[in-house]
Amino acid sequence: MSAVDTTPQSPEKTRMSIRSVINNAGIGIALLLMILFFSVASEHFLSANNITNILTQITINLVLAVGMTFVILIGGIDLSVGSVMAFAAVVAGKAITLPGLGATELIILAVLAGVLAGMVCGILNGVVSAYWSLPSFIITLGMLNIARGAALQISGAQTIYSFPFAFEEFGSMLIYGVPVVFLVALALVVIAWFVLNRTVFGRLIYGIGNNEEAVRLAGHPVFWYKVAAFSICGLTAGIAAIIYMARLNISSPIAGIGFELNAIAAVIIGGTSLSGGRGSVIGTLLGAFIIGVLANGLILIGLSDFVRQMITGLVIVIAVILDHYRAKYSAS
Amino acid sequence: MKLMKFAAAAATSILLSTSIAAADDKPVVGLIMKSLANEFFQNMLAGAEAHAEKRGDYELRAVGMQNETDFESQINAVENFITQGVDAIVVAPADSKAMVRPLKRAMEAGIVVINFDVALDEGAKEQQGVELAFVGPDNRGGAKLAGDALGTALGEGAKVVIIEGNPGADNATQRRLGFEDAVAEHKLNLLDSRTAHWETEEANQVFATMLTANPDIQGVMAANDSMAIGVVKALESAGRSDIKVVGFDAIPAVLPMIEDGRLLASVDQFGQEMAANSIDLALDVLAGGPQLEGWVKTPIELVAGK
């Protein structure tokens, strides 16, 4: 493994991590200001119940955004995650309502089927876009339709319901007010952080985003790294599907329409560059929090739906402008 | 364009092959629906196919679309039906304005046109000089039925919220107005009204937050059952069994919830029969019956527990 190590030299490495701390601190400060504002503006914002709500509400987006971070870091994009989530949910929904099996078998079967279904879509996205060097924007746009169509076809466009009780229980279980499903998402963030920062694979993901040709010339199989990034994104869409089902006790073929945009927004607000090579999954975590806190807080202070939508859009634009300056700043 | 026509033709031929071989003298009815991704239209298609088989005295050609707003392929479908020389077109328009002109051409070609599910725009009809009856449910009336059930259960002054469908969609607007009619009649106290875009997860999030802002909510009116499911789950998470919820559509997934009281009521528009009923009306006109006029209201029914 050490033979293919391409980690930067140590002084630069230190500088990079300081920079990334500053970057993340900026997002963290923005989040803190937001929290401060909403806790003054609404008496309910900091209540224990509302904090539980916010954690529940950001879970699915956070899970999708973790996978999305990998794809954006290699300079790609995955527009299919919302549809892939629906497809995985329908596959898992079909599995969990199979007759003649015990609850435990059904749950295990459904989780495996859902996660696998998501991953297969991700592998296809990766293989097709990497093998023919096609823009992932278009390939995943295709997958957006393929997966949605498959979800509708398999389910006959019907909502699937009545899941085993233990499964429902998992979806609403709390540990000291923290939803278990959020802990699952947090575990994914930690794993992703470890993979991206402490493994050669992770460093090469950054490397491909920065200079794909250099990584290729260094003798690394860029193709497989790209496929892996998209597979991870499909995998997280599968996990999101399971969480969706456990939380709402249904699986719907029209679930997740537009979820890809929120996931991308979380990654970008979190400071990951759309052109790849720069960013972090911790930023993604903060980005998901910013979107979740904003959605929650703006309702609490009683803003209308339309104003709320405008403000969310504005935050995304501001994040990208900030990213522009950050890129300029770190280049000089 | 060519591709779309081909797709429509292919869809038609697939459906044709499933229906019984038609005799030459049987009238041909072209059915144009909205998104078959929608459970409601999927059921409607199944209902129409069963109806065609049962009556056996007409030939059904059905086309659906990929999404709710894809009116261009609806226009193509109308043109194809005109070319094929069908006897009647039964259509659920994806756009209440854009569909008027192609349907006018169909009427000029001597085809009996029945507009169901969503009414064509009155202004656009007037502008084009088209007179066409509408066969469909009263979304506003249906929403009022659900709202009435909630109002009766809660009593005057009760605090309620509305979860709306897609802003701008005609049925979403009508249902919101129906809920507001019920609010006015039962003198309810409407605290908030927000969209969750017909979606379960979003309704779950939006409502959980609304409940935090207004813990004294007593009742919820959701503009469809998918969103009502999200609301019910939010109430379960919050441990609130005192809040009453009504939905709309009566999809199979909510029937157990109505049974055990988690959902107070929903509204059935008999989507399965709606297309079939419209086809019956078209065949009546074809058989020499009088032209339809105004608004032929189709049945709606409140579905409530014991």
The confidence score (pLDDT) of residue B124 equals 85
% chain B with pLDDT above 70 = 91
| H/E segment holding residue A55 | helix A48-73
Q: How far is B130 from chain A (nearest CA, A)?
A: 35
Task: Give the span between the Cα atoms of A287 and A293, in whole angstroms.
Answer: 10
pLDDT in tens, B169-212: 788 999 999 999 999 999 999 999 999 998 999 999 999 999 99
pLDDT given for residue B30 in this prediction: 93
Beta strands in A139-266 (DSSP E): 160-161, 174-175, 178-179, 250-251
Question: Are B209 and A300 within 8 A, CB to CB?
Answer: yes
Minimal C-alpha gap between A260 and chain B (Å) = 14
What confidence tens digit (pLDDT) does each residue in A232-241 have? 999 999 999 9
Domain range annotation of chain A: 23-331
CB B147 within 8 A of CB B178: yes
Largest CA distance in chain B: 65
Q: Give percent of chain B with pLDDT exceeding 90.
A: 57
pLDDT for the residue numbered B131: 86
Which of the pair, B27 or B15, is modelled with greater confidence? B27
Q: Give per-residue pLDDT as tens, B80-103.
A: 999 999 999 999 988 888 889 899
Please name the residues in contact with A275: beta carbons below 8 A apart, sequence gap of 6 or more.
A75, A209
B67 touches chain A (CB under 8 A): no
Amino acid identity at A153? Q
Model-level ipTM above the cut of 0.85: no
**Phi, psi (deg, nearest 5) at residue A127:** -60, -50
Verify whether the Cβ–Cβ distance A255 to B199 is below 8 Å: yes
Q: Which of B68, B212, B217, B259 to mutate to test the interface with A (most CBs of A within 10 A)?
A: B212
Q: Which chain B residues are Cβ-neighbours of A300 within 8 angstroms?
A: 209, 212-213
pLDDT of res. B71: 80
What pLDDT digit, counting tens, does each position of A255-309 carry? 998 899 999 999 999 989 888 999 999 999 999 999 999 999 999 998 988 998 8
Q: What confidence tens digit (pLDDT) does each residue in B279-300 have?
A: 999 999 999 888 888 888 888 9
Instruction: Give residue-wise pLDDT tens across range B101-148.
Output: 899 999 999 999 999 888 888 888 888 888 888 998 889 999 999 999
Q: Smallest Cβ distance to B251: which of A47, A159, A172?
A: A159
CATH architecture of the domain with residue range A23-331: Orthogonal Bundle (1.10)
Separation of alpha carbons A203 and A211, rounded Å:
12
Do residues B219 and B154 make contact, with C-beta atoms less than 8 angstroms apart?
A: yes
What pLDDT, in 10s, does the model give residues A50-75?
999 999 999 999 999 999 999 999 99
> Which among B68, B237, B257 is the top mutation candidate for probing chain A, defined by the most A β-carbons within 10 Å of its own β-carbon?
B237
The ranges assigned to domains in chain B are: 2-135+272-296, 139-268
pLDDT at B94: 83
Average pLDDT, chain B: 87
Among B201, B237, B251, whose Cβ lies nearest the Cβ of A172? B237
Mean pLDDT of chain A: 90
CB-based contact, B42 to chain A, within 8 Å: yes
CA distance A78 to A240: 15
The backbone torsions φ and ψ at residue A23, rounded to the nearest 5 degrees and listed phi first, read: -55, -50
Q: Which residues pair with B29 in a beta bridge?
A: B60, B88
For the segment B233-251, the average pLDDT, to the nearest whole number, is: 94
- Tell if the CB–CB gap between B256 and A248 is shorter than 8 Å: no
Instruction: Give the closest-approach CA distance of A204 to chain B in angstroms.
Output: 36
Q: Which of A60, A83, A158 to mutate to test the interface with B (most CBs of B within 10 A)?
A: A158
Percent of chain A, pLDDT > 70?
92
- How crowded is residue B140: how many other Cβ atoms within 10 Å of its Cβ? 17
Residues B264, B304: contact at Cβ < 8 Å? Answer: yes
Q: Which residue of chain B is at minimal alpha-carbon distance from A48?
A: B212
Identify the pLDDT of residue B306.
67
CA separation for the pair A285, A55 (Å, rounded): 11
Q: Has domain B139-268 been given CATH number 3.40.50.2300?
A: yes
User: What's the pLDDT at B13?
Assistant: 44
Residue in chain A nearest B37 by alpha carbon:
A157
For residues B259-267, give the mean pLDDT.
Answer: 95
Residue pair A91/A136 in contact (Cβ under 8 Å)? The answer is no
Local structure of residue B289 (DSSP, 8 states)? P
- From the number of C-beta atoms within 10 Å of its C-beta (0-12, 13-18, 19+), residue A317 rates as exposed
Where are the alpha helices (H) located in B20-166, listed in sequence order?
39-55, 71-84, 100-108, 122-128, 139-154
A172–B201 C-beta distance less than 8 A: no
Which chain A residue is nearest to residue B231, measuring alpha carbons? A248
Please report the pLDDT score of residue A35 as a whole number. Answer: 95
Q: Assess whether pLDDT exceeds 80 at residue A157.
A: yes
What is the pLDDT at residue A24?
Answer: 63
Nearest to A50 among B205, B212, B251 (CB): B212
Pairing mode, strands B244-246 and B219-222: parallel
Q: Which residues of B, range 228-287, sit inside 8 Å of A by Cβ?
A: 229-230, 233, 236-238, 251-253, 256
Give the closest of B198, B201, B237 to A244, CB-based: B201
- Predicted pLDDT of residue A331: 64
CB contact B199 to A (< 8 Å)? yes
Strand runs (DSSP E) across chain A, as ranges? 160-161, 174-175, 178-179, 250-251
- Residue B201 and residue A56: Cβ atoms within 8 Å? no
Contacts of B229 in chain A (CB under 8 A): 159, 248-250
Residue B269: pLDDT over 90: no
A159 to B226: CB separation less than 8 angstroms, yes or no: yes
pLDDT tens profile A16-41: 566 666 666 778 888 999 999 999 99
Residue B205, chain A, CB below 8 Å: the answer is yes
Confidence of residue A13 (pLDDT cuts 50, 70, 90): low
pLDDT at B203: 96
**Considering CB atoms only, which of B167, B201, B213 is closest to A60?**
B201
DSSP B163: E
Q: Do B209 and A296 touch (CB under 8 A)?
A: yes
pLDDT at A8: 44
Cβ-contact A259, A85 below 8 angstroms: yes
- Per-residue pLDDT, averaged over A42-50, amounts to 92
How many angstroms away from the CA of A64 is the closest CA of chain B? 14
Which residues of chain B does A257 touch, with a Cβ-Cβ cutoff of 8 Å?
A: 197, 199
Nearest chain B Cα to A249, which residue?
Answer: B233
B14 alpha carbon, distance to own chain's centre: 25
Asked if B199 lies within 8 A of A257 by C-beta distance, the reply is yes
- Identify the bridge partners of residue A178 per DSSP, sorted by sequence position: A175
**Is B204 within 8 Å of A247 when comparing Cβ atoms?**
yes
Percent of chain A with pLDDT over 90: 73
Q: How confident is the model at residue B22 (pLDDT cuts 50, 70, 90)?
A: very low
Closest by CA position to B162, among listed B149, B148, B177: B177
Q: How large is the average pLDDT for residues A135-159?
A: 94
Question: Which residues of chain A are at the B interface, by a Cβ-Cβ cutoff of 8 Å?
Answer: 42, 44, 47, 49-50, 53, 56-57, 60, 148, 152, 156-162, 172, 244, 247-250, 252-257, 295-296, 299-300, 302, 305-306
Q: How confident is the model at residue A319 (pLDDT cuts 50, 70, 90)?
A: confident
A with B: how many residue pairs have Cβ under 8 Å apart? 93
Q: What is the pLDDT of residues A78-96, one digit of tens each?
A: 999 999 999 999 999 999 9
CA distance B118 to chain A (A): 21
CATH class label, B2-135+272-296 = alpha beta
